[in-house]
Amino acid sequence: KNQVEQSPQSLIILEGKNCTLQCNYTVSPFSNLRWYKQDTGRGPVSLTIMTFSENTKSNGRYTATLDADTKQSSLHITASQLSDSASYICVVSAKKTSYDKVIFGPGTSLSVIP
Amino acid sequence: DSGVTQTPKHLITATGQRVTLRCSPRSGDLSVYWYQQSLDQGLQFLIQYYNGEERAKGNILERFSAQQFPDLHSELNLSSLELGDSALYFCASSVGLAARYNEQFFGPGTRLTVL
């Protein structure tokens, strides 16, 4: 069964600190993995996308890693800011014949406090 | 601003009623996706349309239906509404059919409250 799990469920960190969010998936056949940031009550916004051959992708203070062998990804946030408070969603796509099946993780809720 | 527009922003209605949510994709995008996000829940994929045709179905109830029009805007129809249908409904669009490199751009959502 195609599944995406994320940990921790929620996280509170001090402003300026780093943090790492985890994503484990059992999606097959793998197409790509995305990390989205969703502010409360807003639509998700894409942070990074990685395919099978990519193991690191950066977007400013956000760095995503992918280990396709262990089916794990992480999102590292450096020097956190108050505006980083949001839900971070791992999304994995499985290849189908004419379209990709997209499976959303439950998200990690991050709170950055002063 | 993602370029995807959704109307209305908020909708309050009663159980048993029917509502229509509207989505206009980004200019040039042919695929439209609908998602439901209940309170404190993850995003649930409902349905995808590509250039007017239904291409993928997720956990969409039989009481719900959608269509994509020739001008590529899409509508999600929710009927016989129940309290549990209260949620944020997001529309997303992407350029093509397959999501290999197709980033989905999400609209601001419609918050539906069923009383």
pLDDT at B99 over 60: no
Contacts of A95 in chain B (CB under 8 A): 100
What element of type H or E holds A8? none
Q: For A77-102, what is each residue's pLDDT tens digit?
A: 999 999 999 999 999 988 766 566 78
| % of chain B with per-residue pLDDT over 70 | 95
CB pair distance less than 8 Å for B42 and A31: no
Q: Locate tokens 């404190």: which residue?
A: B40
pLDDT for residue A96: 67
Q: How far apart are CA A44 and CA A67, in angstroms?
A: 24
Q: How far apart are CA B87 and CA B46, in angstroms?
A: 13
- At B45-94, the pLDDT tens digits run 899 999 999 988 888 999 999 999 999 999 999 999 999 999 999 999 98
